[in-house]
Amino acid sequence: MNDRLPILYCDDQYVAIAKPAGMFVHRTNMDRRVRDVVVQTARDQLGRPVFPVHRLDRPTSGIVLMGLSTEAASAASELFRERRVGKSYLALVRGHAPDEGRIDRPLTSPETVYGEPLEAVTEFKTECRFEVPLRSGRFPTTRCSLIRALPRTGRFHQIRRHLNGINHPIIGDTSHGDSRQNRFFRTYANAVRLMLHAAEIRFCHPATNECVEIQCPMPDDMSEPLKRLTD
């Protein structure tokens, strides 16, 4: 893994970096052997402590916002809790998705007491659709869509679970996806990762009250498979 993380935004309060797919944000009990994590890498790169503001799943690439002090991180975390941060993700999903939609389905999470479901809402818009002239199941062709997901809440694996719930699982999702389709796109398009990318966040800066918009380009390990679908 490259020891330098691309910096997308930086001021005297916050820094945002582009996390590659497969990298933990911080050390976790899920795998104590992992040493290559965002927090320590960014700390060494910047030469100062950093404090993550929000979570991003290990297999997901994209924007991670961190405070340069505990106070800054706490203020920004409050924005996320109060749903005052706009978030936009790109996802390659199975099948031809509708032009747009709203998924309003409560979800449980590891933090939920007694497993009671919590409100969970994801809106989405379809950016483009693909049709591969090869059979991967009972149909003569294989279809997929690139969608922009706009989560209005922040539940555990929300986008992944919501899209799977409407029969458009994300390609490469080994927990909530379609293993047959995953194998097909691995072989055909070299889609070897979860095809989900945190592309944009927008928020009002807690210190300056200015609107901050941070964008993260799609990494090669996601953009290259998409190019292969158009060949």
Three-state secondary structure string covering 125-167? EEEEEEEECCCCCCCCCEEEEEEEEEECCCCCCHHHHHHHHCC
Stated pTM of the model: 0.93
* Torsion sign (Cα): 167, 98, 218, 123: negative
Q: 7-230 adopts what CATH topology?
A: Pseudouridine synthase (3.30.2350)
Other CB atoms within 10 Å distance of the CB of residue 33: 4
Question: Is 57 in the active site?
Answer: yes
Residues of the chain with pLDDT under 70: 1-3, 28-35, 111-114
Catalytic choice (12, 57, 104, 221): 57
Query: To 5 degrees, how large is the angle CA 81–CA 87–CA 90?
Result: 140
What is the sign, positive or negative, of the torsion defined by CA atoms of 50, 111, 107, 171? positive
Q: What is the pLDDT of residue 219?
A: 97
CA-to-CA separations, 3 to 36, 40, 45, 98, 199, in angstroms, rounded? 8, 10, 8, 40, 21
Q: Which residues contact 35 (CB under 8 A, 6 or more apart)?
A: none
Mean pLDDT of the chain: 93
